[in-house]
A and B are shown apart, each in its own frame.
Chain A
Amino acid sequence: MDVLPFLKSLVSISGLSGYEAPVAKLIEAKWRPLVDEIKVSRVGSLHGFKKGTGKSPRPSVMLAAHMDAIGMMVSGIEGEFLRITSIGGIDVRVLPGAQVTVHATGSGEELPGVIAMPPAKLLPKEAAQEVLEIKYLLVDTGLTARAVKRKVRVGDLVSFANDPLELAGGIISGHTLDNRASVAALTICLEELQNTPHIWDVWAVATVQEEVSYLGGYSSAFELRPQIAIAVDGTFAKGPGADGWQTHPLGKGVGLCMGPNMHPFLHKKLRELAERLEIPWFLDVTPMHSGTDAFPMQTTAEGIPTALVEFPIRYMHTPVEAVSLKDIQRAGRLLAEFIASLEADFVEKIVWE
């Protein structure tokens, strides 16, 4: 599967945290032929069900990729300008001059806009001359005050609008690749499973509100109550300004996370499988909170053995996040092979050393 066109369409459609419906529809259309059943949870997560070949009652594995995106929201209207606030972990340094879309509910239009950085002379003295806090920034839609008043409402969403760019070496760059790239990886996994028998039932889940509260991770794990849960998310790639122990080379393989959020047995099995299949991988150690859906899923109900499969993202939470298509393919394939490798009695083998 050439994942690029689907990934491009995934990052070109809106779906900020709490407002994932547009992207959920796109994913649903893509997954529908790949699963036996598909439905939307009470809070908006997408549950794709692919039936296993084992005897009933079959165990199930849940794959979770969050589909929500960080963004902004209109907090005030001043003439032709909009004040904004953030949804999720916005990096305010990237905002001045960024192209955005204002999802105007007054008129039902998507208005192009740009984030304006007012000059120092229009700001109070205490406003830093360095990076401006989001409260000092404005959005300009190029429209008159009258048109803005008619079209825009406080509470309207503002999303990044730059088109994705293909860089050399199979790298795609754009906003929202965290975590739509994982949705693409889940899609690759579902496609591989079309021709790969698996005993276990599979729940492919696109979760909501990971960037804000892990709402989808908590609620879907509770509703579906899988025997195993695997979160798929991005980790930090090495690159300009980022070379600490938390960072990993871009395009060189899949990350397998270990730490308190992950069950060591599942981690070990994924490692062994990657070795056997010669899928390049790296170890990502997370001393405490993984900052992914693995965190809520693990403590759902009576507790669920959880793993985290990752790929590196450069410039995370900027509008130019960069990922390697090869890494996404590798993550999708590893997930499919892992699911296919699950024996009927695998749960009983999950042990603590």
Chain B
Amino acid sequence: MAEKIALGNTQLKLLEKLCNAIAVSGDEGEVRAIVLEEIKPFVEEVRVDALGNVLAIKPGRGKKRPRVMLDAHMDEVGLMIVGEDGEGIYRFEVVGNVDVRYLVGKQVWVGRERKAGVIGGKPVHLMSADERTRKVPLEALRIDVGLDGKVNVGDRAGFATKFRRVGPSIMAKSIDDRIGVATLIELIKHAPPNIDLCAAFTVQEEIGLRGAKVAAHYFNPDLAIAVDSTPAYDLPMYAGGENTSYNTKLGLGPAIYIADGLALHDPRLVRFLQSVAESEGIPYQIRQPGGGSTDSSAIQRSLSGIPTVSVSVPHRYTHSPLSIARVEDWKNTINLLYLALQRITPSMIEH
């Protein structure tokens, strides 16, 4: 079997830094700065484009090198301050898809200066029985930064969740998709010579796959792999019985996409990844075909069409204040991609 990348504390420390950073769609600066600092010594060319994507090229050696685009989005779902009620109380909107039921009773960091805020709720003692069973609509929620606290309309806010390691898992906000960002950084550091590695750290995935669209156009790659994090709904059924709609399960390895809500992934690339995993003894799972999407669909339909596949590290509790993923799944994702990149040949995607 081929040699794999040894992954340890250094990579986990970087993942911690990435997850603790706040980069709500459209305001990805904190993550962009970390990415630029990490990759600059390893790439030949790097640019920040018109939307804020970080686009880096690490060329290989020799002739006929396929251009392989790897994609991970830097942005996260979050909140934006939209109005001021006075005395440190602010209205906000959600950016991206956030279930409003996750918001009451949570702590947030607001703005570049990371001012502390909380999203409170009416005391349970003062609610009618009916009120207690209804979710609090977004219009009724506020961020409270304290009596004479001041933040700005337009400031972004993110959940004040600290990364931690627990047994076989990590607990953090924004595992979707900092785990993909960390994966790309690691692969840039270990890029094989048979390809030109085109790394796209994209913006605005959570609000319509917008960064990936222009990134694919810029790179014009021969093939692309979107590296993301997909929900694992592997919880027990309340009424008993088998959970047959789990999407993915933690601990079973990288999730390879065949079909999601916006794209049928290139079957040649799906088979290729499966064969690499099987020959190298890397566990993997097929994400249950169904809804959802990643940057892959935006890349696939760019230019005259780009063969695309998507690989995700599974995580539980998507778009919530705290998600859980397994360290082993992440390591297996990095190594699946590391070994796959080495085996990419120009003939692979010829008809």
Contact = CB atoms under 8 A, between A and B. Distances in A.
Given A143-B169, A165-B116, A239-B120, A320 B235 contact: no
B297 interface: no
A219 interface: no
A93 B105 CA distance: 8
Given A89-B124, A240-B89, A320-B119, A97 B102 contact: yes
Nearest to A172: B146
A127 interface: yes
Contacts of B161: 99
Query: Which of B134, B161, B167 gathers the greatest number of chain A CB atoms within 10 Å?
Result: B167
Interface in A110-139: 111-112, 114, 116-119, 121-124, 127-128, 130-132, 136, 138
Contact of A315 (B116, B120, B245): B120
A169 interface: yes
B107 A165 contact: yes
Given A81-B236, A93-B104, 14 more contacts: A93-B101, A99-B161, A114-B317, A117-B320, A131-B135, A132-B101, A138-B236, A142-B171, A143-B167, A143-B168, A165-B160, A173-B144, A318-B105, A322-B120
A162 B107 contact: yes
A28 interface: no
The 7 closest A-B pairs by CB, nearest first: A167-B146, A169-B147, A94-B105, A168-B149, A315-B120, A168-B146, A142-B169
Contacts of A127: 238
Nearest to A111: B166
B322 interface: yes
B145 A167 contact: yes
25 contacts: A91-B124, A93-B124, A93-B135, A94-B121, A98-B106, A117-B317, A122-B238, A124-B238, A124-B239, A127-B238, A131-B101, A131-B134, A132-B101, A138-B235, A143-B167, A167-B88, A171-B147, A173-B116, A239-B142, A239-B144, A315-B123, A317-B124, A318-B104, A318-B105, A322-B144
Nearest to A122: B237
Contacts, number: 207
Nearest to A326: B147
Chain B interface residue bracket vs A: 35 or more
Interface of B: 85, 88-89, 99, 101-102, 104-107, 115-126, 132-136, 140-142, 144-150, 160-161, 164, 166-171, 233, 235-239, 243, 245, 251, 316-317, 320-322, 324
A53 B226 CA distance: 77
A169 B116 contact: no
A317 B149 contact: no
Interface residues of A, number: 66
A163 to B, nearest CB: 8
B108 to A, nearest CB: 9
Query: Which of B101, B120, B144 gathers the greatest number of chain A CB atoms within 10 Å?
Result: B120
B308 to A, nearest CB: 27
A239 B169 CA distance: 38
Interface stretch (A16-24, A241-249, A275-283, A341-349): A241-249
Nearest to A243: B122
A124 to B, nearest CB: 5
Contacts of A111: 166
Contacts of B317: 97, 114, 116-117, 140
A244 to B, nearest CB: 7
Query: Which of B146, B149, B321 gathers the greatest number of chain A CB atoms within 10 Å?
Result: B146
A141 to B, nearest CB: 7
Given A112-B166, A251-B147, A318 B238 contact: no
B132 A99 contact: no
Interface string A166-179: 11111101000000
A314 interface: yes
A169 B235 contact: no
A244 B126 contact: yes
Contacts of A324: 147
B88 A168 contact: yes
Contacts of B102: 96-97, 117
Nearest to B238: A123
Contacts of B324: 114, 140, 142
B120 A121 contact: no
Contact of B322 (A99, A143, A171, A320): A99
Nearest to A119: B233
A98 B121 CA distance: 14
A250 interface: yes
Contacts of A119: 233
Contacts of A319: 105-107
Given A93-B135, A130-B134, A142 B101 contact: no
A119 B233 CA distance: 8
A143 B238 contact: no
Interface in A143-187: 143-144, 147, 162, 165-171, 173
A290 B238 CA distance: 38
A291 interface: yes
Given A96-B320, A169-B147, A240 B142 contact: yes
Contacts of B233: 118-119, 121-122
Nearest to B85: A240
B147 A122 contact: no
Nearest to B147: A169
Nearest to B164: A112
Interface string A308-319: 000000111111
